[in-house]
Amino acid sequence: MTQIDHNNSNDFKKQDAYLRAEKQLKALKGFYSHAFFYVVINLILIGVVAFHSNGHFWNFGTFSTAFFWGIGLAFHAIGVFAKGWMFSKKWEDRKIQEYMKNDQTRWE
């Protein structure tokens, strides 16, 4: 009986790992898509401004969309690539155990 429970536990861990990996892959694909459209659209916008600039190309307005969108893209990158930096899975597990222990002692 313990062998069956052990196998179910392993199956659950494998499924959980697969779902986490799938979620991470979707986040990575979303970031790459975001970065691709950032480059393409900003090249088009800057090209249009350059074509119609009449010598007034080098001002903040020309690059403001790229600048502010770039800030958003940077936060997206932090969310994808530095996700475990502050609040890692180990930290989450530790906090859950801490909360469960506190809750258990409160009711005893």
* Phi, then psi, of 56 in degrees rounded to 5: -110, 45
Say yes or no to pLDDT of 99 above 60: yes
| Residue 63 burial (10 A CB sphere; 0-12, 13-18, 19+) | middle
- Chain mean pLDDT for the chain: 87
Say yes or no to pLDDT of 66 above 80: yes
In the chain, where does DSSP find H-type helix?
Answer: 2-51, 60-81, 83-86, 89-107
Between CA 23 and CA 84 the distance in angstroms is 14
Per the structure, the count of domains in the chain is: 1
> In this predicted structure, what is the pLDDT of residue 3?
53
> In this predicted structure, what is the pLDDT of residue 102?
86
> In this predicted structure, what is the pLDDT of residue 94?
87
> In this predicted structure, what is the pLDDT of residue 82?
85
> In this predicted structure, what is the pLDDT of residue 108?
62
Instruction: Please give the residue that has the higher pLDDT: either 31 or 8.
Output: 31
Instruction: Please give the residue that has the higher pLDDT: either 73 or 82.
Output: 73
> In this predicted structure, what is the pLDDT of residue 83?
74
Answer yes or no: are the C-beta atoms of 83 and 63 closer than 8 Å: no
What residues have CB less than 8 Å from 31, skipping those under 6 apart?
A: 76, 77, 80, 81
Range of the domain at 94: 2-107
Answer yes or no: are the C-beta atoms of 46 and 66 closer than 8 Å: yes
